[in-house]
Structure 1
């Protein structure tokens, strides 16, 4: 287990396995050699993700959120770990996946986002355009792991 601190000063842990009652997903996708981000209308550029719906498996939620926010269709999805924010009022966990995409569809509506953005690396993005999540120590660590090791 690795430990980090998020932008709000909360303890964050990263575990290699699944955590019970995980209700969120985060996906680090690649398409044609580039990382695929979504442009959240309020927060800025970040990796796609969101809440698991009732009766939905984590993998199904990851595929759905990815498609809704970017139009990306998964070729291969791999579990990376579980990111847990130890908030004193309401702790929550995110199952983190990486994937390569078969294709990127253009959608009429990207839900709460302005759609996809492809980048070679997140370092090329101006900090003012990044969401706080894309600056998060643990998420940056996960991104670097996927960048260095591929999605396996």
Structure 2
């Protein structure tokens, strides 16, 4: 069983998956920081700091006016928390946009690097057979 485990771990797929998970976690940290530290403050500045998180409608039960969402939930009333949903959708759209922009930048950089590699490659010269045929023709022309 230990041998089977070693073979399983040594497979490229497992190692590739582990690397993907680790890179994914690091990428998640980058995206989260970009959204929370760079984009959300700008959006907050543009919208005047509007936060929909505490917006809700009481469907049944008694909740005093001006009560926060958590307190309203704790009161046992049926709450339609549309603000939390709107904020979740907004955050999803922001994160999706940031990921799109990062992937687009990586793809552009990759395409640029591939283009430079193609330029750096020397054009292929004639094959040995072509060179030998040219030499043969030159020798034949010289002896004629």
Judge same fold: TM > 0.5, yes or no.
Answer: no
Structure (1 or 2) with the greater strand fraction: 1
TM-score by length of 1: 0.19
Which structure is richer in relative contact order (CA contacts within 8 A, separation 6 or more)?
1
> Which protein shows a greater Rg?
2
Structure (1 or 2) with the greater helix fraction: 2
